[in-house]
């Protein structure tokens, strides 16, 4: 009898959890779906009826070239790529040099540095980041 009640309570809790998680999923995905729906409409159709799948003027791709021109996409993308490549190369070089120093030398400072590096990996960056 107690097992049946416990099983029923577990099923109810599971069903409530599924419903809550489904509602949260919809709340988080809805803005992304809105962007996908509105990217293929002209501005007048977006402001008139943002929830419509297709606007009065039909399906359009003119928003993409306009966005690329307005934000100077290729220059910005090139700058981001340049910074990413340089910082990755710098990180690899400095990390390799630091690892070599820690492994090859048996200094007390190296042990402290190693423990601090491991501790910094345990704490997520978002906790340390200033909002």
Q: What is the pLDDT of residues 45-93, one digit of tens each?
A: 888 988 888 888 888 889 899 989 999 999 999 999 999 999 999 999 9
Rg (CA), the chain: 27
Q: What is the mean pLDDT of the chain?
A: 91
- Between 16 and 105, the more confident residue is 16
pLDDT for the residue numbered 131: 57
Domain that holds residue 117: 73-130
Number of domains in the chain: 1
Beta-strand ranges (E) seen in the chain are none
Backbone torsions φ then ψ of 115, nearest 5 degrees: -65, -40
Residue 59 in any domain: the answer is: no
- For the entire predicted model, the pTM comes to 0.57
Distances (CA, A) of 25 to 31, 33, 51, 64: 11, 12, 19, 28
Q: Are 41 and 54 in contact, with CB atoms under 8 Å apart?
A: yes
Residue 66 in any domain: the answer is: no
């Amino acid at each position: 009898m107690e097992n049946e009640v416990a099983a029923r309570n577990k099923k109810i809790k599971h069903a409530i959890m599924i419903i809550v998680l489904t509602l949260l999923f919809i709340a988080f995905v809805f803005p992304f779906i809105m962007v996908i729906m509105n990217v293929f409409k002209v501005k007048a159709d977006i402001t008139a009826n943002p929830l419509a799948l297709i606007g009065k003027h039909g399906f359009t791709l003119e928003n993409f070239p306009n966005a690329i021109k307005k934000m100077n996409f290729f220059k910005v993308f090139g700058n981001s790529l340049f910074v990413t490549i340089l910082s990755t190369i710098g990180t690899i070089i400095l990390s390799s040099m630091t690892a070599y120093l820690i492994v090859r030398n048996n200094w007390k400072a190296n042990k402290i540095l190693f423990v601090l590096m491991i501790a910094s990996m345990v704490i997520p960056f978002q906790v340390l980041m200033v909002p």
